[in-house]
Amino acid sequence: MARKPNVLQDKDQWGTILNEYLNVAHNPDGTLKTDGLATAAEVAAVETSVATHTTALARVDPGTAGSAGQSLRRGPSGPVWADDIINVKAAGAKGDGTTNDTTVLQGLIDTRTTESGGKGAVLYFPPGTYLANLTLKNGVILSSLRETPGRLHASVKPVVIKGADPTKWVITSSSSTPLYCAGVVGIDIEGDYATAVGGVLIYDGTRCTFKRMHIAGFQNQGFYISNGGSCMVEDIMVTSCLRNRARASVAGAFQIGGTDHFVNNIEAGASLQNDLSTVSSTSLYCVGVLIASNSAFYSKVYGEYSDRGVLVSGDRNRFTNCRGDHNYGINWDVSGRDNQFDVIQALDGSLTGAGTYSGVRVSGRANIFTNVRVMHNDGNFYSYAFEDTVSVTTVSERNQYVGCFGTQYVTAEWSFGSTWTGAAPLHAPNITRVSSGTTIGVQGLSVVSVQGYTAATTVTNFTGGLNGQTIYVIGDPDVTLENGANIKTSTGANLTLAANRAYTFVFFSNVWYQV
């Protein structure tokens, strides 16, 4: 077989090998052989085909249906950009805010879905308001080219699907057949703010995608995945939903069940501030973000202006950089188990009234909380910063709190279900030096130096202690600890401290015991 010469192996044979190689395609006079080459007619046919497709694929304005060249080419199923990208206006949808586009849009979904033998498709929505109620099907994505998340500035022309029939959900799926690999991207969903039932309802969705949406104006949930798994959900804002305040059961403006989802950058609330100045009911049924999923991942999720900001009823989820903010009742309510929370904030809750509701309430077991902050800026302080109602003998079933702090509370920072079988928070070592006072605050502290005292003083209590907390007191001869109701010394008598000596005390059931 003819081949090209090899630099390292063909010494003194280069000419022979090269000639054999060139003779395959060349005549002795150096001209190309014609065997196997395309004929002139074949070349002309290819050139014609290329020219035709180049013209058809020229980029043009995909604007109003009926204008010249609305799509990149025209395929057998109608005007399209490519086999799997369909311009809905070029296909007949109006998007003018008055025409019911349900028939056209649903027809495109039905013909392109993999359920009917199609290959799936992206239905491209140019700017406009499309009146429709649609049922998503496998393999079909509704999308605009918009990259910005949440509510748009007034100067930006939106892409909106608004319910044509307020008695139906705007976007839904089959209640009997699971939905796979479908979704909505860069399209806002809008109700009539009066009677519209709901925004997006997916009964059972797997590997679906929902991104860059603002959803508003519904009597029930704005966004609701009931079941399914491994969905990508991000950059979604839900406002003015759950407008039916007289509810018989709990619901979330943003609500998600199922398992193994990835959820990022969500801001959702019932918008109670629009028509109420208190909770909708003492049952706290109107929730900003309701997490009923299991084993899912949540980042930058934000529940606001609702009875409860974030309600976690599912198990084994992971939360990071999330916040409950400006809620009339509880900012965070956790009834699920084995969840993990890291860098969490509860801000400005109990807006109904000072001392009415807690910042974080936990009734589920075996949850882990790290770096949680409960705080207030407007004066309606919490009843408790943290309220944990769990009481269980098995230590691993108790909730764990590491580096968690609360401020601006009426009753106390912490409330536990039991002195003996409740949780015991853990703080990083913190040190303070005290120079005066008969009571010393030790909230979150591990070492207290009283070496700053300059006059004889009897200390009667260390305040702010938590069950299981240990403090080391660095002594000074001017300070005497009173053996009384709050402090129990090892000798049963008042204890005058010695200079440069450490004394150990453990807090239990409102009493400090010297070790």
Which whole number is the average pLDDT over 437-461? 95
Please say if the pLDDT value at position 340 is more than 90: yes
- Which pLDDT score, from 0 to 100, does residue 146 have? 83
Classify the C-alpha dihedral 163-168-174-180 as positive or negative. Answer: positive
Classify the C-alpha dihedral 355-357-359-361 as positive or negative. Answer: positive
Dump the DSSP string for 348-394.
S--TT-TTSS-SEEE-SSS-EEEEEEEE-SSS--EEEEEEE----SS
Q: What CA–CA distance (Å, rounded) separates 437 from 444? A: 19
Per domain, the residue ranges of the chain are 1-33, 151-416, 431-514
Which whole number is the average pLDDT over 252-274? 96
pLDDT in tens, 244-253: 999 999 999 9
Task: Give the residue from 129, 121, 46 showing the smallest Cα distance to 79.
Answer: 121
pLDDT in tens, 401-444: 999 999 889 999 999 988 778 888 888 889 999 999 999 999 88
Largest CA distance in the chain: 120
Q: What CA–CA distance (Å, rounded) separates 229 from 223? A: 16
CB–CB of 302/266 below 8 Å? yes
CB–CB of 412/443 below 8 Å? no
CB–CB of 191/169 below 8 Å? no
| Cα angle value 150/153/155 (rounded, 5°) | 145
Residues 6 or more apart whose CB falls under 8 angstroms from that of 108 comprise 86, 88, 91, 121, 123
Which whole number is the average pLDDT over 458-478? 94
Classify the C-alpha dihedral 88-89-95-99 as positive or negative. Answer: negative
CB–CB of 90/81 below 8 Å? no
Average pLDDT, the chain: 88
No. of helices (H) and no. of strands (E), the chain:
3, 44
Write out the H or E segment, with its range, that includes residue 103: helix 102-112
CB–CB of 329/355 below 8 Å? no
307-315 contact pairs (CB < 8 A, 24+)? 307/270, 307/272, 307/279, 307/280, 307/281, 307/283, 308/284, 308/332, 308/333, 309/269, 309/346, 309/349, 311/250, 311/252, 311/287, 311/335, 312/336, 312/339, 312/364, 314/257, 314/339, 315/339, 315/364
Please say if the pLDDT value at position 55 is more than 60: no
Classify the C-alpha dihedral 5-9-15-16 as positive or negative. Answer: negative
- When mean pLDDT is compared across 30-34, 49-53, 144-148, 192-196, the lowest value belongs to 49-53
What is the pTM (predicted TM-score) of this model? 0.80
Query: Is CATH 3.40.1280.10 what the domain over 151-416 is classified as, yes or no?
Result: no
CB–CB of 171/199 below 8 Å? yes
Q: Answer with the residue of higher pLDDT: 362 or 61.
A: 362
pLDDT in tens, 370-398: 999 999 987 679 999 999 999 999 999 99
pLDDT in tens, 120-143: 899 999 999 999 999 999 999 999
**Residue 1 burial (CB count, 10 A):** 5
Pairing of strands 73-75, 78-80: antiparallel
- When mean pLDDT is compared across 14-28, 208-222, 299-313, 486-500, the lowest value belongs to 14-28
Q: Which DSSP letter does residue 509 get? A: T
- Which pLDDT score, from 0 to 100, does residue 67 have? 36
Three-state SS annotation for 24-59: CCECCCCCECCCCCCCHHHHHHHHHHHHHHHHHCCC
Which whole number is the average pLDDT over 435-462? 95
- Which pLDDT score, from 0 to 100, does residue 36 have? 52
Confidence of residue 267 (pLDDT cuts 50, 70, 90): very high
Percent of the chain residues past pLDDT 70, beyond the cut: 88
| Distance from chain centroid for Cα 362 | 20
- Which pLDDT score, from 0 to 100, does residue 407 have? 87
- Which pLDDT score, from 0 to 100, does residue 42 have? 63
Q: What CA–CA distance (Å, rounded) separates 218 from 168? A: 11
Q: What CA–CA distance (Å, rounded) separates 199 from 213? A: 11
